[in-house]
């Protein structure tokens, strides 16, 4: 038994309260908006091949988001969530991982899935909940998942993946996998009890998990100064005994550098790490939200100047790893591909009626089989009312 806490405190004999904001948390910046690098900054491990892959992923992300917001407005998909302005956080961190590290996301980290190689048609199938979708059309759009790509299926309840990531990483350690888990969440989700539970569990049980907080200033309409009174999310990591860093989330090189170091530390020491990436949610929370109700155009315009994709492009141009012809070809090609993919995915049939009752359990129970039989009989009687499934069984 170790009750060292009683012995380790320095004794004082006059009451002196520790200031709630006394933890000094600097912010790591490597890349300037003009594409130059801060003097003395240590660059991450990156070459032209990796840089090009990251940049193409960022471009794909931007184009997909813009096109799908438009598609939702046309009523072609029911719902969408973009990551406009904060794409570098998910893409840059995924680039700092091994492809077999587990990713447990909140919902605004499709960039990590893109970096892993989830195909355009797979994104489309999920959003259109058609019969080719891996999740069998059961969840809302953007709730992606892929066992093959080690990307845990997203669920809507906020923060629930945080203690799960601690457990997942503990299992990886127990089985000697030499793999870690990254867990993404927003600063709003960090107010949930599961944030506390997950970070404390990971620290006490020494799980190799990277907690990656996207602090983008807003949880729907709630600004971060109504979310917490302390020094952001990073100051809490220190309280749990977790190695912590705050970074510029719009700086692809800072994100990559911090994640590479966090991964190495987590695996070498079997310890969790907390990264707080500061950014700004440039778009609406979702297609069901209108930010003009709670913030100004001026504020948005100011942050638009911190565009992480433009910043990386400027760096790529400086490196002579990229030029304007490649830029135009890439973006025009992507816009064309996304439009075509929408037209394909929306014509694919919905999943069969059997998928309503499969996977509730490993094997459908007798009660579920009975409910399915009754449902089929009902659909046969009223086929016009159920056009997606009638005549298909």
Partner 1 sequence: MAQMNLLQAINNALDIAMAENDSAVCFGEDVGHFGGVFRATSNLQEKYGKARCFNTPLTEQGIIGFANGLAAQGSLPIAEIQFADYIFPAFDQIVNESAKFRYRSGNEFNVGKLTIRTPYGGGIAGGLYHSQSPEAYFAHTPGLKIVVPRNPYQAKGLLLASIRDDNPVVFFEPKKLYRASVGEVPEEDYQIPLGKAEVVSQGTDISLLGWGAQMETLEKAAKMAEKQGVSCEIIDLRSILPWDVETVANSVMKTGRLLINHEAPLTGGFAGEIAATIQSECFLHLESPISRVCGLDTPFPLAHEKEYMPDELKTFEAIMASVNY
Enumerate binding residues for partner 1 (CB under 8 A): 102, 104, 133-136, 138-139, 143, 145-147, 152-153, 155, 157, 160, 162-172, 174-175, 181, 193-194, 196-198, 200-201, 204-205, 358-362, 365-367
Rounded to a whole number of angstroms, the minimum distance from the CB of residue 105 to partner 1 is 13
Beta carbon nearer to partner 1, 57 or 181: 181
Beta carbon nearer to partner 1, 89 or 165: 165
Nearest residue to 8 via CA among 241, 299, 251: 241
Rounded to a whole number of angstroms, the minimum distance from the CB of residue 240 to partner 1 is 10
Beta carbon nearer to partner 1, 181 or 287: 181
Rounded to a whole number of angstroms, the minimum distance from the CB of residue 379 to partner 1 is 20
Beta carbon nearer to partner 1, 148 or 325: 148
Rounded to a whole number of angstroms, the minimum distance from the CB of residue 384 to partner 1 is 28
Beta carbon nearer to partner 1, 95 or 166: 166
Biggest CA-to-CA distance, the chain: 83
Beta carbon nearer to partner 1, 174 or 301: 174
Own/partner contacts of 343-346, CB < 8 Å, gap of 24 or more, are: 344/121, 344/124, 345/121, 345/124, 345/125, 345/127, 345/128, 345/130, 346/76, 346/128, 346/130
Residue 182 β-bridge partners: 103, 210
Burial of 360 (C-beta count, 10 Å sphere; 0-12/13-18/19+):
exposed
- Residue 20 to residue 197: CA distance in whole angstroms: 21
Q: What is the DSSP letter of 345?
A: H
Q: Which residues contact 170 (CB under 8 A, 6 or more apart)?
A: 202, 205, 207
Q: How many Cα atoms are found within 13 Å in the side-chain-facing hemisphere of 72?
A: 18
Beta carbon nearer to partner 1, 57 or 164: 164
- Residue 325 to residue 368: CA distance in whole angstroms: 58
Rounded to a whole number of angstroms, the minimum distance from the CB of residue 193 to partner 1 is 6
Rounded to a whole number of angstroms, the minimum distance from the CB of residue 11 to partner 1 is 27
Rounded to a whole number of angstroms, the minimum distance from the CB of residue 108 to partner 1 is 18
> Counting every residue, how long is the chain?
393
Rounded to a whole number of angstroms, the minimum distance from the CB of residue 345 to partner 1 is 16
- Residue 132 to residue 350: CA distance in whole angstroms: 8
Beta carbon nearer to partner 1, 126 or 259: 126
- Residue 294 to residue 146: CA distance in whole angstroms: 35
- Residue 85 to residue 89: CA distance in whole angstroms: 9
Nearest residue to 390 via CA among 266, 119, 380: 380
Beta carbon nearer to partner 1, 33 or 358: 358
- Residue 25 to residue 30: CA distance in whole angstroms: 16
Rounded to a whole number of angstroms, the minimum distance from the CB of residue 17 to partner 1 is 26
């Amino acid at each position: 038994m170790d009750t060292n806490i009683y012995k380790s405190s320095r004794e004082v004999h006059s009451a002196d309260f520790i200031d709630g904001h006394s933890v000094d948390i600097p912010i790591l910046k490597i890349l300037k908006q003009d594409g130059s690098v801060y003097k003395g900054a240590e660059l991450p491990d990156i070459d032209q091949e990796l840089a090009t892959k990251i940049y193409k992923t960022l471009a794909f992300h931007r184009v997909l988001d813009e096109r799908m917001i438009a598609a939702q407005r046309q009523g072609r998909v029911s719902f969408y969530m973009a990551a406009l302005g904060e794409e570098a956080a998910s893409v840059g961190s995924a680039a700092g991982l091994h492809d077999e590290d587990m990713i447990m996301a909140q919902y605004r980290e499709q960039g990590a899935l893109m970096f892993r190689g989830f195909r355009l048609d797979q994104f489309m199938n999920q959003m259109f909940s058609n019969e080719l979708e891996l999740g069998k059309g059961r969840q809302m759009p953007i709730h992606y998942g892929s066992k093959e790509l080690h990307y845990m299926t997203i669920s809507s309840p906020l923060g629930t993946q945080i203690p799960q990531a601690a457990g997942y990483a503990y299992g990886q350690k127990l089985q000697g996998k030499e793999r870690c888990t990254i867990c993404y969440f927003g600063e709003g989700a960090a107010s949930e009890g599961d944030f506390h539970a997950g970070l404390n569990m990971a620290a006490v049980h020494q799980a190799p998990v990277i907690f990656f907080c996207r602090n983008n200033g807003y949880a729907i309409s709630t600004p971060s100064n109504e979310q917490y009174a302390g020094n952001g999310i990073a100051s809490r990591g220190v309280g749990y005994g977790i190695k912590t860093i705050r970074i510029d989330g719009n700086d692809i090189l800072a994100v990559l550098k911090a994640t590479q170091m966090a991964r190495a530390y987590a695996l070498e020491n079997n310890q969790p790490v907390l990264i707080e990436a500061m950014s700004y949610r440039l778009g609406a929370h979702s297609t069901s939200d209108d930010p003009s109700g709670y913030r100004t155009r001026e504020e948005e315009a100011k942050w638009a100047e911190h565009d992480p994709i433009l910043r990386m492009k400027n760096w790529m141009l400086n490196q002579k790893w990229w030029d304007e012809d490649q830029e135009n070809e890439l973006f025009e090609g992507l816009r064309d591909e996304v439009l075509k993919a929408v037209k394909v995915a929306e014509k694919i049939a919905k999943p069969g009626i059997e998928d309503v009752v499969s996977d509730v359990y490993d094997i459908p129970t007798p009660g579920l089989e009975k409910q399915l039989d009754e449902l089929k009989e009902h659909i046969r009687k009223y086929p016009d009312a159920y056009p997606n499934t009638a005549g298909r069984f």
